[in-house]
Every structure is written in structure tokens, then in C-alpha cells.
């Protein structure tokens, strides 16, 4: 799931020179070694074709096994090096403190100058993929506690999503499956979350999920498809095929409009249960209406654009016909689902870093959009009631997490901090919290109502991070706040999902 592995179709997929692959719409050809290249790529008989692909499968499987072992060895070496660096860093800090305690005269007599100790060990690791357990933790009490660790996937968990009522959790994984977890029915009150159902079917990793009520669930995958699941039965009811790897999927809501099968625009109730949009690696946004079949009924995109669309979101409660998209050139665009035209666009940052995710809040009083970028910055924007005529304002930039090269996601929610003594019916003390995953294995939680952005022209990070959660043994890809409780779900490269509760 590295960014280098998710490039737009014009650049192809990144592979090492010994395992190059050419991926197009209809075939996959692997160049493994000299012996394999001597074989005929397209045998004449059906039997020959079967033998050919069986041989190819075994060869690719062997290469995959070798690469996996190499990755495991390099990961272990990285852990040991990080641990050694941490220990030497601590020793250096102690020596410096001891020397400084002896006074400036001792240092002057010896003619020694002591360089400052690096404050961030992880800056020494160029890849930014260090494991949090090997880096010194801040000495403070966490505001969140881990209530449960959910195990059941056999690979990295790329996406996690609470159902609208919060009774269920859906997760998608590298193991090609979607899992449903029940938040209720536990005999152990201290633990929450139990595996309810596993739904296999995708051919490659599951990358994105979207709920429609408590009944329907969409899952998108790199196998160029979106599947619609009946949550009650666990069966795939429909499969929608697209021409690229699915990056994001979102349901439309009541009042939205799209084109019907004959290409005309129409408005109907119940769009949130029937119409959805998906972004893929083909620089297009595709709209589907499951009532009229599995073929695309609307396409959104700029003519001539080759930017891969990475994330989608319905940003406003007051206008469900507006769709926001983000791409790998650092641009956010808003679209009218009625006309199919781009309403407004803006760039996030000066260096055009790719955007990995859009999150936000869209109630009557708070209209915020969070933008995760590959420059390790999570930017927060304030949206006007009407995007077409209003101004989009950059409120602040949140920093500290590691987002570079990895599709890290965030979540936002309005809730009370633990220090609040206000009654539950009083909304005066609600704070806006933003949580984001990170490549260093931690979860960073920010409180937007604590502290002020520094500077008016180019706002920097907020004055304080509300909390940093540690516990995963790998990159944290996705986070999601519970719709009604102070619970945060996180999914990780370590194949687990953790549920955190604010104390």
C-alpha cells in the first residue's frame, strides 16, 4: 500500500527490475527470468493455456515467497537498528546532562563543544517506517485506553468503518476479505467487539468501505470492482466493475442527482440507499445507481486530466448534490452531481504532494474538511454553507504524524473532552477532535478547540496534541470515531483492529 505502489496508470506500477510487471486493462504479464521468457506467451490449445498459467502461478508464488522473507528480514533489521539508535540517543542525552551539570568551566577547559541532541529519533530513519514500540514515548498519562483488540484478518487491515448507529464495525484487509464485528452482546463488560461474519469474494486487497444504513455495505478493491453486501445475510448482491483500482467509495444522500441510464438528470428520494460514487486509478469518478443495473451512469472528471483520484466525500449537510474529491497532485475539487461540472478547486500546500484522504464534519454549525497529504501534514479547512459562492478557508495544519508514501486516513468528531463537567444536553462545551493514523504505528489525536493556530497568513500546527496512542505493531492506516460514543477504532498493518475509549 505504499504510494509508489499506487501510481496513476500513465506511470504504471512500481516493481523491482527482477520482477517487472506490465499491467493493463485486460492482461498481466510477468517477466520473471530468462527461462520463463522463452516460453510462448499465448499457447494454441486450451490445455496448453492451462499449463502455461499454472507454471506462471507457481513461479510468481515462489517469487512472492522469496520477497516476503526478504521483507521480514529487513523489517527485523530495521527494528534492531531503531532500538540501538534509541539506546545510544538516551545515553548521549544522559552524558550531555551530566557534563552540563559540571558547569561551563569544565567544558571551556577541555575545549569541547557539545552539539544538541536530536529531538526526534525517527528523523534518522529516512523511510519514516519505524515501529512506535522502539521509540521513546512521552511520559504522560494517555486520555484514551485500549478496550479491545480484534483479531481475525490474515493481513494488513486497510480500512475500518462504524455503521451509522455504531452497532457494527466493517473492516477490509489485504487478505481480500471484509469482516463484520459486533459491538454488542459481550459477556465481558470490559471488552467490546466480536467477529460476527467474514465475507470473502474480492480477488485483491480491500481498500475502502461505505455504509448505507445498517443494511447495505459497499467495499472497493484493487481488483477493479465494488461489491454491494447484504449485511444480514453476508452475501454479495451486486458487483460493479470499473477500469482501475478502487481508491474510495461514497454513498450519495437524499436529494442528490445523477444521470439515469439514458443520460438525463433526475432527482429522487432514497438516493443514499441506491446511488454511490467511486474513485479509481483512471483519473475518473464513476457514479452508479444499483436500481438500474451495474453499469456506470455518470462520469466526473476534467478533460485531459491524468491525476489519480484518491478520495471522495460528501462535504455538506445542506447540499447533498455536492461531492468533494482529492487527487495525487494535491488538488481538492468540488463537483455538482446535478450538472457533472467542477464547482471549485484549490491546492493543498505548495509542493503538490498527493492527498491520501478526505475527512470532515458536516453538521449545521460546523463544516470542516480534513485533508491528509503525503507531506506529513493534515490540513483543516472551513467550508461555507454554499461552496459555489462562499469562500473556503484554511484554518490550521496538524503535524506530528507520518503520512509520507502511505495512504493514511483520518476521522473527525464533535464531543466533550474528559475534563468537561457540562451536562450531556448542553452543547456549549463540545470540542472538535481529529484523529489520524500514522506510519510510525501511533494514532495522533488533536483538539481543534485547544490552542490557536500560529500566524494568520500561513497557519502552522496547533499548540497541543490532545493524545498519542501506542499499541499497534505496524503502520496505522485508518481510524474512525464511533457515531455516538467516545470510542475510536483503528486498523493497522499488524492485521488487528483496536478499540479505544476516552477516559
Question: What is the tens place of the pLDDT at every residue in 19-33?
Answer: 333 333 333 333 444
Element (H, E) at 378: strand 377-382
pLDDT at 126: 37
Residue pair 443/500 in contact by the 8 Å Cβ criterion: yes
pLDDT at 188: 53
pLDDT at 414: 92
The number of beta carbons lying within 10 Å of the beta carbon of residue 126 is 7
In the chain, the percentage of residues whose pLDDT exceeds 90 is 49
Whether residue 84 is predicted with pLDDT greater than 90 in this model: the reply is no
Whether residue 39 is predicted with pLDDT greater than 60 in this model: the reply is no
Give the pLDDT band of residue 333 (cuts 50, 70, 90): very high
In the chain, the percentage of residues whose pLDDT exceeds 70 is 69
Q: Provide the 3-class DSSP secondary structure of residue 209.
A: strand
In angstroms, the Cα distances linking 224 to 203, 297, 374, 405 are: 9, 17, 24, 22
Whether residue 47 is predicted with pLDDT greater than 60 in this model: the reply is yes
Q: Provide the 3-class DSSP secondary structure of residue 421.
A: coil
Q: Is 417 exposed, middle or buried (0-12, 13-18, 19+ CB in 10 A)?
A: middle
Whether residue 37 is predicted with pLDDT greater than 60 in this model: the reply is no
Higher pLDDT, 459 or 477: 477
pLDDT at 418: 81
pLDDT at 100: 53
Cα(457)–Cα(388) distance, integer angstroms: 23
DSSP class of 115: P
Question: In angstroms, how far apart are the furthest CA atoms of the chain?
Answer: 88
In angstroms, the Cα distances linking 120 to 237, 388, 462, 474, 501 are: 50, 43, 18, 19, 28
Cα(118)–Cα(127) distance, integer angstroms: 17
Whether residue 459 is predicted with pLDDT greater than 50 in this model: the reply is no
pLDDT at 68: 81
Mean pLDDT (whole number) for 139-157: 87
Hey, what's the cell of 76? Answer: 527485523
Give the pLDDT band of residue 483 (cuts 50, 70, 90): very high
Question: What is the tens place of the pLDDT at every residue in 364-407?
Answer: 778 999 999 999 999 999 999 888 888 999 999 999 999 988 99
The number of beta carbons lying within 10 Å of the beta carbon of residue 139 is 5
Mean pLDDT (whole number) for 256-272: 38
- Segment of 75-79, 174-178, 262-266, 269-273 carrying the highest mean pLDDT: 174-178
Give the pLDDT band of residue 121 (cuts 50, 70, 90): very low
In angstroms, the Cα distances linking 10 to 14, 170, 310, 325 are: 12, 33, 15, 20
DSSP class of 290: G
pLDDT at 366: 82
pLDDT at 21: 36
Higher pLDDT, 123 or 470: 470
DSSP class of 475: -
Nearest Cα to Cα of residue 456 among 394, 399, 404, 502: 394
Nearest Cα to Cα of residue 251 among 354, 178, 164, 318: 164
Question: What is the tens place of the pLDDT at every residue in 352-368?
Answer: 899 999 999 987 778 99
pLDDT at 151: 95
Mean pLDDT (whole number) for 409-414: 96
Lowest mean pLDDT of 63-72, 133-142, 489-498, name the range: 133-142
Higher pLDDT, 112 or 312: 312
Nearest Cα to Cα of residue 307 among 281, 272, 345: 281
Residues 75-80: contacts with CB under 8 Å, at least 24 apart: 78/125, 78/127, 78/129, 78/130, 78/131, 79/131, 79/134
Nearest Cα to Cα of residue 410 among 382, 386, 438, 383: 438
pLDDT at 207: 96
Nearest Cα to Cα of residue 417 among 403, 431, 428: 431
pLDDT at 93: 58
Amino acid at each position: 500500500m505504499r504510494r509508489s505502489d499506487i501510481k496513476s496508470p500513465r506511470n504504471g506500477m512500481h516493481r523491482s527490475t527482477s520482477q517487472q510487471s506490465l499491467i493493463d486493462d485486460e492482461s498481466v504479464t510477468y517477466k520473471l527470468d530468462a527461462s520463463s521468457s522463452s516460453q510462448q506467451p499465448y499457447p494454441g490449445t486450451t490445455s496448453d493455456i492451462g499449463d502455461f498459467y499454472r507454471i506462471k502461478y507457481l513461479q510468481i508464488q515462489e517469487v512472492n515467497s522469496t520477497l516476503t522473507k526478504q521483507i521480514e528480514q529487513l523489517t527485523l533489521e530495521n527494528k534492531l537498528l531503531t532500538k540501538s539508535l534509541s539506546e545510544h540517543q538516551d545515553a548521549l542525552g544522559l552524558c550531555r546532562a551530566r557534563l552540563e551539570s559540571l558547569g561551563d568551566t569544565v567544558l571551556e577547559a577541555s575545549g569541547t563543544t557539545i552539539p544538541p541532541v536530536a529531538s526526534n529519533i525517527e528523523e534518522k530513519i529516512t523511510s519514516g517506517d519505524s515501529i512506535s514500540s522502539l521509540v521513546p514515548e512521552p511520559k504522560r498519562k494517555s486520555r484514551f485506553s485500549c478496550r479491545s483488540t480484534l483479531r481475525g484478518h490474515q493481513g494488513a487491515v486497510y480500512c475500518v468503518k462504524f455503521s451509522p448507529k455504531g452497532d457494527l464495525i466493517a473492516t477490509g484487509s489485504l487478505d481480500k476479505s471484509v469482516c463484520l464485528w459486533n459491538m454488542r452482546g459481550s459477556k465481558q463488560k470490559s471488552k467490546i467487539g466480536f467477529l460476527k461474519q467474514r465475507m470473502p469474494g474480492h480477488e485483491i486487497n480491500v481498500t475502502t468501505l461505505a455504509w448505507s444504513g445498517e443494511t447495505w455495505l459497499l467495499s472497493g478493491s484493487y481488483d477493479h470492482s465494488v461489491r454491494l453486501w447484504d449485511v444480514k445475510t453476508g452475501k454479495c448482491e451486486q458487483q460493479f466493475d470499473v477500469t482501475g483500482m478502487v481508491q474510495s467509495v461514497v454513498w450519495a444522500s437524499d436529494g442528490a442527482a445523477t444521470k439515469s441510464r439514458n443520460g438525463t438528470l433526475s432527482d429522487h428520494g432514497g438516493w443514499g440507499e441506491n446511488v454511490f460514487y467511486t474513485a479509481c486509478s483512471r483519473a475518473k469518478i464513476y457514479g452508479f445507481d444499483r436500481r438500474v443495473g451495474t453499469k456506470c451512469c455518470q462520469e466526473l472528471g476534467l478533460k485531459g486530466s491524468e491525476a489519480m483520484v484518491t478520495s471522495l466525500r460528501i462535504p455538506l449537510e445542506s447540499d447533498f448534490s455536492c461531492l468533494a474529491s482529492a487527487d495525487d497532485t494535491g488538488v481538492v475539487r468540488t463537483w455538482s452531481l446535478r450538472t457533472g461540472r467542477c464547482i471549485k478547486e484549490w491546492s493543498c500546500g505548495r509542493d503538490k504532494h498527493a492527498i491520501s484522504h478526505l475527512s470532515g464534519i458536516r453538521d449545521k454549525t460546523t463544516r470542516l474538511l480534513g485533508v491528509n497529504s503525503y507531506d506529513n501534514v493534515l490540513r483543516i479547512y472551513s467550508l461555507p454553507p454554499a461552496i459555489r459562492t462562499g469562500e473556503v478557508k484554511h484554518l490550521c495544519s496538524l503535524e506530528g504524524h507520518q503520512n509520507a508514501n502511505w495512504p493514511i486516513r483520518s476521522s473527525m468528531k464533535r464531543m466533550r473532552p474528559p475534563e468537561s463537567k457540562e451536562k450531556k444536553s448542553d452543547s456549549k462545551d463540545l470540542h472538535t477532535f481529529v484523529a489520524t493514523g500514522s506510519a510510525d504505528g501511533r494514532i495522533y489525536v488533536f483538539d481543534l478547540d485547544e490552542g490557536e493556530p500560529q500566524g494568520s497568513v500561513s497557519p502552522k500546527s496547533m499548540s497541543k496534541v490532545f493524545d498519542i496512542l501506542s499499541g499497534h505493531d505496524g503502520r496505522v492506516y485508518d481510524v474512525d470515531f464511533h457515531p455516538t460514543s467516545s470510542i475510536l477504532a483503528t486498523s493497522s498493518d499488524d492485521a488487528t483492529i483496536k478499540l479505544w475509549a476516552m477516559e
